[in-house]
Structure 1
């Protein structure tokens, strides 16, 4: 099989469905926060609780869903080498491993929820609400992780529209059920508040998995029939996943520290940070659509040893990602003074949001470059390099920055300036490494 042509059409064909698929999870969390932040009663505490639990959930899913990235790399490389039939037995092994992983994570973390969120400095009612919300949503771990494994297979096959359809279905179910369960229906259903938001998210995850399974059986030649003999590529998959896992541990250290500092500054700052973090994650998953295109095409190009194609892929995906990020920044700049009010009516939270949100907007073009290169390197299977890079920038940039800026009393701004420097380090180093890699491939 020849290498794929790196055309605008090919990139956008993969990127835009991947964008819609990728933003489903942050849309679920943002919807929860917006609905909860505007409900009657103690909405600030509920907002802080949903934000913290949602971010922790996203961090775990982001970490464990690296199986999606590794299986995508293996599938796309096999596709480029015209040897797809050789990985038939690997596919069900990966999916069942993900299901088992999800069950294990739930059994370990759900009983310890109060202890876990106490480590984030959540206290009193916020701690109690966070633990309860998490224990319901965490039931969905096996469903989410198995769906993500299937999404990775779709991406490796150069198709992101099936995952997009599944994700949109889940997001729509979540939006509708959020309003019905959180606010209730007069004379029919009592308002369930934070518990209702958690149940809505859980049902949305089940919907997403059901649609993914439909496409898996309808559109691919793979099956879920398990061969107990380990596939020769299973070791490679596990090693890739382990390295991607260690990489996201570094990401989670940054998120963990950000919430510890935010909770120390008070519940209003914690609630504001929850809003900012979920908007940042939305941006990240949105731009990650172009990284997914780079991942899928890049793995196939590397399988075909096409250096010129890889160079063109990087140029085009970076251009598209930066332009889209800039357009999003422009739209949100126009709406700048109104966005905080979408999530809460607390004046202090809105004021803190307005004072800090500009940092997130400024970092988006930098994020775009970092995510695109990150996706290409994942497609190559460069898990160990990405692991080492994240560990280095976390230790050398993020941690010193957040402690130093906190010392000077910047509080919430300290957190987000540290994230800005962290992303800048990733973008610059990955760009330099990519240039060297392409030169080496040409040689």
Structure 2
């Protein structure tokens, strides 16, 4: 074995990160395709997709502990040489995903209309969003099965198979989307149906991978309780994200169809690039967890430093690239002049934040790999309460539009940067053993 004080070989890090990049990018890339297809239906369907898609993300992202919490637990077990136990964690996360997904599916049919109207006000945008959401959330159990599958596979340092599975599902969706929207004339509803078809394919492949591992698949409620204990902090952290992002979409929708549609275009690009930057962090999650599970805090800290510098470098490159694309790229998503006139009010914030995002997402990955969920929860809640939310709602009251919304996002990211750098410097996150920090 290598000296635990050494940094991980770049080839090893990139060998995990590049397939993870494909997995992370596949869903937002599909959403970009979906946005481009629906965008040519007009401003109202695109604004409906913006609101419906944000609500779908709100629902599914609240359960991201099925991915990130599972990775934290499985990577430590894998690092300790206990692969079967690591995979068994994935089986229990999958059971959780199925159960919660069925509940979400039922709630969506009851609450889609009042929730959409509460956020955007009664009207065509809310109607379009509710229709899309009711169809899309039929796939909630499928999405959560895929999350759990990604979690345990990352934990055992297998990022290649998840890439194949996700590409298979999203590839089918991308082909079906224009066919259903235009070819069959289903409009916005066709977008949701295409999404559902791809989710079914991806979830089926992850279930098959779990079965062939030949570990115990029977529900283990003690293990699930342990996962939920760690998940509590991750859920609160994700809730802070989603309250912020949903508030931004709601304010944009109340400002008008043009700003809402422009926000959708820039926001989906932000989401896509956030996950591109996060690919190294996914590799760091697995490697940091394994290092701590094997008893090496020194190696874990070396990986943390390494991935942070890489994240900064990638963020700078992406900022330069998208500054150059400020003119032509928005026209790919819509030809509506009203929407295109609003895009620059958000675009330059999006560009300037890329280096900050590179560092923030890298450190998020490190601390998620260590299972340091409690600190991430507190830092995110503080940044949201102080930075993002006040600016978002002041934007609505004073008519600051997209510039005000994206100023709030900038404050949020800068506050997160400070809190994460302080935690990294302290070293208190690097606790060795098979149990993540704060596990019950």
| Cα deviation, residue 320, structure 1 | 2.2
Matched residue, 1:322: 312
What is the correspondence of 1:273-422 to structure 2 with a 5 Å cutoff? 273-406=263-396, 409-422=399-412
Any conservation in 2 of the 1:99–1:145 contact (CA below 8 Å)? yes
Q: Which runs of 5+ in 2 are unaligned?
A: 433-440
- TM-score normalised per structure 1: 0.92
- TM-score normalised per structure 2: 0.92
CA displacement 1:319-361 (0-9 Å, x = unmatched): 2222223322222222211122111111011011123211111
Matched residue, 1:204: 198
- Out of 196, 220, 230, the residue aligned to residue 221 of structure 2 is 230
CA displacement 1:64-92 (0-9 Å, x = unmatched): 12211111111101112223344565432
Question: How far apart, CA to CA, are the structure 1 residues paired with 2:226 and 2:371?
Answer: 9
Any conservation in 1 of the 2:58–2:246 contact (CA below 8 Å)? no
Matched residue, 1:102: 101
Question: How far apart, CA to CA, are the structure 2 residues paired with 1:178 and 1:428?
Answer: 41
Question: How far apart, CA to CA, are the structure 2 residues paired with 1:171 and 1:261?
Answer: 30
Matched residue, 2:416: 426
Matched residue, 2:53: 54
Question: How far apart, CA to CA, are the structure 2 residues paired with 1:49 and 1:149?
Answer: 29
Q: Which secondary structure state, in structure 1, belongs to the residue aligned with residue 215 of structure 2?
A: coil
Any conservation in 1 of the 2:181–2:190 contact (CA below 8 Å)? yes
Q: Which runs of 5+ in 1 are unaligned?
A: 185-189
Matched residue, 2:242: 252
Any conservation in 2 of the 1:298–1:376 contact (CA below 8 Å)? yes
Matched residue, 2:172: 173
| Cα deviation, residue 385, structure 1 | 1.3
| Cα deviation, residue 230, structure 1 | 2.8
What is the correspondence of 1:12-51 to structure 2 with a 5 Å cutoff? 12-39=14-41, 43-51=42-50
| Cα deviation, residue 260, structure 1 | 2.2
Distance 1:265 1:81, change over 3 A: same
Question: How far apart, CA to CA, are the structure 1 residues paired with 2:270 and 2:166?
Answer: 19
Q: Which secondary structure state, in structure 2, belongs to the residue aligned with residue 337 of structure 1?
A: coil
Distance 1:441 1:181, change over 3 A: closer
Any conservation in 2 of the 1:55–1:278 contact (CA below 8 Å)? no
Any conservation in 2 of the 1:24–1:170 contact (CA below 8 Å)? no
Any conservation in 1 of the 2:70–2:89 contact (CA below 8 Å)? no
Which of 119-128 and 149-158 deviates more?
119-128
Distance 1:36 1:122, change over 3 A: farther
Question: How far apart, CA to CA, are the structure 1 residues paired with 2:255 and 2:67?
Answer: 36
